[in-house]
Each structure stands twice: as C-alpha cells, then as structure tokens.
Amino acid sequence: MSYRAMPKVELHLHLEGGAPPAFIRGLAKEKNIDISGIFDEQGGYLYRDFEHFLQVYEAACTTLTGPEEFRRLTLAVLEESAAHGVVYSETFVSPDFCGGGDVGAWREYLAAMVEAADEAERTMGITLKGIVTCIRHMGPEQAKTAAKCAAETKGDFIVGYGMAGAEMVGRPGDFAYSFDMAREAGLRITCHAGEWGGPDMVADTIRDLAPERIGHGINAIKDLALVDQIAEQGIVLEVCPGSNVFLNAVPSWEAHPIAKLRDRGVKVTVSTDDPPFFHTTMTDEFDMLARTFGWEEEVLSELNQTALDAAFCDDKTKEAVA
C-alpha cells in the first residue's frame, strides 16, 4: 500500500534542499550561471559524499539571486510536498542565502516566501512555517547575524531558530550566544546533531543549546543512557531515514535506528531533509517505514501526531491543520 494520500506533518525540510533540479537548471539557464557540473546525466543532483553534497547545495543556491527566486522556489517545493499529502511543513531558511545577513534584505526575501506560502495554503491546503537556520561551517559570527535576522522577524511565519551545515566543524557551545539570543526573542529551538557526530555531540548540543527538537539525532543510539535522557526530557527527534541511508550515515533501511529509538520511548518524527537530493518523498519515507519495520497505519499516524504536537506554530494553527 502507498501512503501518498495520508495527511502528513513534516518538521525537517531545507527550503533550498527541496529545489527540484529542473527548477535550478532553469534558473541557471535564465541567468547564464554555469553549474552544469552539479547535475548527472539524468538531470539529478550529482555529488560524492556529504561534504561534496554541501558544496553542490551551495552551488545550486547561487541561482537563487533574489526574493522572486525564493517565491518561485517556495511554490515549487510546496507543490511537491502537497502532492505527497503534507498538510503542514516547517522549513529551514537561511539569511546566508537570502541577502547575506542584511536584515532589510532578509525581510524582502521573507515577504516573498510568505506570499508563496499564502498562495499554497489557499490553493493546495498546505501550511508552511519557517525556522531561521545558521550554517555551522560558516562559523559563530555568521550564526549571530542569522540569529539577529531571526529575532527581528519572529512572528506568524518565523517560529524557530536552528543550525544545519557541517556538523564536525566546531562544538555546539561555540554557537550558544546565537541560540540564547534567538530563545530570548521567543523563538523555539532545534539543532542538527548526531547525524555525523557521535553521542557526545548530541549530549553537548542538549547541554549547551537546550533544543526542544534535534535534527536527526540518530547516533544517540550508541549511548543508551543518552537515549533514556532524550526520552525523559521529551526531546523530539526529526528523523530523516531516506537522507541517512542515501548519504551513508547508516548502511541500510534495516540498520536504521528509528525503530529502536521509538521502542525505548523517544518521540520520533519523520521528514525528508532535502528530498530531490536524496531521491525521496514523504510518501517514500512512510512506505519504506511500513515495509522495513512492519509499521501499520496506527504507528504512522502516531508519528504524524508526534510531529504536530512538536510543531513550533501556535495552537490555533495546529487545530486548523489537524
């Protein structure tokens, strides 16, 4: 059975990472930007490993030159999500790719994304919220600039602050200042950790950045005391199994720890991360979970409910979506 039609909640989706490759190729052609090296013969994204993925991702972003490109991107991404039954989505957006950290420019990019989100809500029945994301390998100073953009634009659309990028660069505590600034502004907190880093990285992230949710977090499974701590503290994991398998963070779907984490009481949710980069969709994620772990509709609905409970939007929005 395919779970395409099941209403879904997605908490971990990078907006630029959702860009269909044909959309990016089209923009590159319009603007005469030569990024032909980032595509394979079938027109998909081409990269060797995670580090190279980040480079290809940033090369694709060079075609997103202004607010209008982000308006079109947002619509293209939401069309794809809605086609897979997603009714509520939270997307990571980075001032670093939207005006380079200038607050005035950032506001213009945001207005364009909100225009697209409003249109998608009207025409496709999908609700979108944004989480401002700093890019770890760009360093703590850039992260502060991102946090300032986040704090200045907290509101109906921008609901959270987080961190993505190369996890093995620096330590979580290096970014505490920007996370504190975002938290003090009333933003909800999530952070990528334990996708590439070990349990120590997850533990330090919890201690130094105090996130309510963790992006991936899968390597916590290597320390069961830490898994129990995550369960007891009610920290929610934004698990992206298809991404983890495609990037070789885990060797196979069968070896993925999501079922073990859930069995031990951790609140797990399911997302696609960067769907066209990993040749996945929310339908594929749910179908593969059903096939790999024998999870039936009851469990899959529970994952969606956990995601809705952990969403950073207000209760009125949750009621409208449920």
Which residues belong to the active site?
195
CB closer to Zn ion out of 28 and 189: 189
Q: Are 194 and 258 in contact (CB under 8 A)?
A: no
Residues 270-289 binding ligand ADE (CB under 6 A) are: 273-274
Given Zn ion, ligand ADE, none, residue 130, with its beta carbon under 5 to 8 Å by kind, binds: none
Residues 267 and 235 sit within 8 Å (Cβ to Cβ): yes
Written as one letter, the residue type at 154 is K
Q: From Zn ion, ligand ADE, none, which one binds at residue 63 (CB under 5 to 8 Å depending on kind)?
A: none
Place of tokens 């509101």: 155
Nearer to Zn ion, 28 or 240 (CB): 240
Burial of residue 79 (CB within 10 Å: 0-12, 13-18, 19+) is middle
For the CB of residue 164, give the shortest distance to Zn ion in the complex, in Å.
5
Amino acid at position 227, single letter = V
Q: How far is the CB of 99 from ligand ADE (least distance, A)?
A: 19
What does the alpha-carbon distance between residue 278 and residue 56 come to, in Å, rounded to a whole number? 13
* Residue 211, Ramachandran bin (φ over 0: left; ψ between -120 and 50: alpha; else beta): beta
CB of 14 to ligand ADE, least distance (A): 4
- Binding ligand ADE (rule: CB under 6 A), the pick from 71, 84, 129, 192 is 192
Residue 153 contact partner, candidates ligand ADE, Zn ion, none, CB within 5 to 8 A by sort of partner: none
Residues 155-174 that bind ligand ADE (CB under 6 A): 164-165
The yes or no reply on residue 256 touching ligand ADE (CB under 6 A) is no
Q: How many residues bind ligand ADE (CB under 6 A)?
A: 10
Distance CA 192, CA 39 (A): 26
Compute the least distance from the CB of residue 101 to ligand ADE, in Å: 18
CA 269 distance to own-chain centroid:
12
- 238 belongs to the binding site for Zn ion (CB under 5 A): no
| Contact partner at residue 243 from Zn ion, ligand ADE, none, CB < 5 to 8 Å by partner kind | ligand ADE
If contact means CB under 5 to 8 A according to the sort of partner, which of Zn ion, ligand ADE, none does residue 280 touch? Answer: none
Residue with nearest beta carbon to ligand ADE: 164
- To Zn ion, the closest distance from the beta carbon of 5 in angstroms equals 26
Alpha carbon distance 227, 240 (integer Å) = 17
Contact between 79 and 112 (Cβ < 8 Å): no
Neighbours of 293 (CB within 10 A): 18
Give the contacts of 290 (CB within 8 A, at least 6 positions apart): 1, 3, 296, 300
Identify the residue among 273, 289, 304, 312 touching Zn ion (CB under 5 A).
273
Applying CB under 5 A, the span of 47-55, 246-254, 265-273, 312-320 interacting with Zn ion comes to 265-273
Measured CA to CA in angstroms, residue 86 lies from 5, 159, 282, 286 at distances of 9, 19, 8, 12
Q: What is the binding site for ligand ADE (CB under 6 A)?
A: 14, 17, 57, 164-165, 192, 195, 243, 273-274
